[in-house]
Every structure is written in C-alpha cells, then in structure tokens.
Amino acid sequence: MNNLVQVQNVSKSFGEVNAVKGVSLEIDQGKFFSLLGPSGCGKTTLLRLIAGFEIPNSGKILIDNKSMDGVEPNLRPTNMVFQNYAIFPHLNVEQNVSYGLRKKNLSKAEKDEMISQVLELVGLTGLNQRSANALSGGQKQRVALARALILKPKVLLLDEPLSALDKKLREQMQLELRHLQRAVGITFILVTHDQEEALTMSDKVAVMFDGEVEQVDSPRKLYERPASQRVASFIGDMNFINEKALETKDGLKVKSKILGDIFIPKNQVSGKLSNNKIIIGIRPEMISIITKNSDSKGLISGKITDISYFGVTTYYKIECGSNAKALSVSAQNSFGQMDYKIGETVKLKMDVNSLVGFLD
C-alpha cells in the first residue's frame, strides 16, 4: 500500500492567522480518510491546499509521488465536492456532470456512455435534462459527486458534503458514500466536524486542533486509545479523574479514592510523568451499574444525581465521594430493566482495561 498523498510539514497563514501549522500526513491509496476537528481548526484549509486553491507558505504536498508545487487546481489529479455543492445553475444535470469532459478527446457516444454510467452510480438515472434549480439538496449532492467521479480522479476531496442535509438523509448518504468509495476504489479525503460521521465512514481519521494534527488513527483506535484529553473529549464522552500516579517498569500505579488501587499499562498512557499527576479517562459506557448486591468487592458506590433517557441508552450522573465531579454513566436500555431514581445509591463496576491515562 503506497502513500498516494503526502503532506510534508505544510504551513499556511492568512495574515495574522496561522490556519495550518506544520502538518505532515500520509494518506494511503484507495482509503477513506477523514480530517476531523472543530470549526476553525484548519481542516478545510488543508483540503484546499491539497486541491490547489491555496498555496502553502512552507512545506510540500505530493500526490502520487509528484510534487504539487506550482501546479494549478485544473491540472491536479484531484476533484472536489464543495460544501454548497457549487452546481452550475445555468446548466442541467447532464451538462453539469459532463463539464470536465470537454478537454478530454472523447466521441459523443463515449461521453454519453460515461454520463449514463456515472449517473447510475450515484442514483440519478433518467434525470439528465433536469435543470440545476429543480434539484433537491440530496440530488445536488449526487450531481456534485457524479461531476467529480466521471473524471476518475486519483483523490476525491469532500468538504463537509453532508452538513447541509437533514439527519435521515445524512445518515443514508454516509452509508452510500462509504459504499461508493469501496466500489470505485478512489482515495477519498473527507473534511467534517461531525465525529460520528468520521468514525462511521473512515478507514483512518486525522484529528486536528488549532492548525495541528493531534492524532491519526483508525476510528476504533481513536475512540479506545485517544492520544490526548482533547481528542478524547472531542470524540464521544469521557470521564476525567485527577489522580496521583507512581511509575513502575511497565505502567503506572494509581491509588484512587474513587477507583481504588489500579494499574494502567504503559500502552494505555500518553505523555510523560512529571510531578506524579495523572488524568484518568473512562468512557461512560465502560462503567456499569450493578444491580445484584452479591459481591461488593471492587465496586464503587455512588449517588444518582441526574437521569436522561435517550431511547437506546440512558445517561446517569453519579456522584462518588463528596467533592469529586459526578461521573457520567451510560447504560444500554433493555426491556424490564431496573428503574433507578434520582437520589438512589448504586454500586458501579468499571472496566479497568478500558482506562486511559493522560500525563502532562
């Protein structure tokens, strides 16, 4: 598997604002790659740097081992799906889709064949003559995809393509995009601020904050072993507990008031230990409420202070100890389960293997 796109120490600033600060990335051929981060983190700028709409102040971008220095957007092997789709309003679906074919030396029959193939691929068969203004949001999205895919780019760039769609359609398009990517085998680079979207669609995700890439990993790794507190709280929920730790040969020993005596192996800890401070992170679903009072060994007791019902799950806020922050606990709902009340005292069990430690 070769690195199709290589971003080498790229920086870009707009006036005083440093949008991208020395980012390096390697993106494999044929993968679905996402740039995830809060708005203003530089992810869209990075995408536009790859597309050629922005020129880096320093650093290099290589696509298929060719330097993109001084290469105009129209000569790059990339195509882009814009956030607002940028469908040409004076052209119909077919004219929009075949826009990029003009410079290719193709016969009318070849073009027609390509157009009908790509329209079928995105599910717009028969809408060739539909005017751009008569398209729904979802259809515009498909036209934008078809228009880019018909040129068979090496890299397809997607700038928050689903953010304008309603929730149902967005979820459907997430699946469709994923299938489409596998079907055509083109490398997709998606920019999104929606962590769920990034996790469900991508082979790999780069999480960005303040113009820097904080972690590049598979969705599962990102969720289970976040490299920093920021990544952990951006992707899903996590409880953070401040503790003091002692270093041993293969991990950290922590005597916790809440969690008791625990040991966190080295590979679950990020950062270097200084002044013994550690922040322990645990996901809400890794804490379970124990109903049977049989064996209370290793269990923590706490008081429920808040309950919110979400259908699939229920979220509890549980206070363990008087001056500690309440823990978030989420439990899968099942039929006929115990109904807890606010104020009730319960026993909690933590999945110790899921703990992660963050050092300064």
Binding site for other proteins (CB under 8 A): 51, 53, 72-75, 78-80, 82-84, 86, 88-90, 99-100, 102-103, 132-133, 147-148, 151
Asked if 56 contacts 10 with a C-beta cutoff of 8 angstroms, the reply is: yes
Q: How far is CA 231 from the centre of its chain?
A: 11
Query: Shortest approach of other proteins to residue 229 CB, angstroms?
Result: 36
Sheet holding 356-358, edge to edge: 260-265, 251-256, 239-248, 277-282, 356-358, 269-270
Comparison of 5 and 254: residue with beta carbon closer to other proteins: 5
> Of the two residues 73 and 138, which places its CB atom closer to other proteins in the complex?
73
Burial of 278 (0-12, 13-18, 19+ CB in 10 A): buried
Q: Least CB distance from residue 53 to other proteins, whole Å?
A: 6
3-class SS letters over 264-320: EEHHHEECCCCCCEEEEEECHHHEEEECCCCCCCCCEEEEEEEEEECCCEEEEEEEC
Q: How far is the CB of 184 from other proteins (least distance, A)?
A: 17
Cβ atoms 156, 187 nearer than 8 A: yes
Beta bridge partners of 158: 81, 190
Three-state secondary-structure class, residue 258: coil
Phi-psi label, residue 117: left if phi above 0, alpha if psi -120 to 50, beta otherwise: alpha
CB of 51 to other proteins, least distance (A): 6
Shortest distance, position 80 Cβ to other proteins, whole Å: 5
Least separation in angstroms between residue 247's CB and other proteins is 52
Least distance (Å) between residue 76 CB and other proteins? 8
> Smallest distance from the beta carbon of 252 to other proteins, in angstroms?
50
Residue 4 contacts residue 155 (beta carbons within 8 Å): yes
Cα dist from 126 to 93, 116, 118, 221, whole Å: 10, 8, 12, 43
Helices 167-184 and 137-149, packing angle to 10 deg: 10
CA distance 1 to 155: 15
CB of 148 to other proteins, least distance (A): 8
Q: Which of 73/271 has CB closer to other proteins? A: 73
The smaller minimum CB distance to other proteins, of residues 90 and 341, is found at 90
Assess contact for 138 and 166: CB atoms under 8 A: no
Dump the DSSP string for 162-177: TTTS-HHHHHHHHHHH
Question: Given the complex with other proteins, which of 88 and 263 has the nearer CB atom?
Answer: 88
Q: Can you give the length of the chain in residues?
A: 360
Q: Which is nearer to other proteins, 99 or 263 (CB)?
A: 99
- Which of 77, 260 has the CB closer to other proteins? 77
Q: With respect to other proteins, which residue has the nearer C-beta, 14 or 263?
A: 14
Decide whether 151 or 359 has the Cβ nearer to other proteins.
Answer: 151
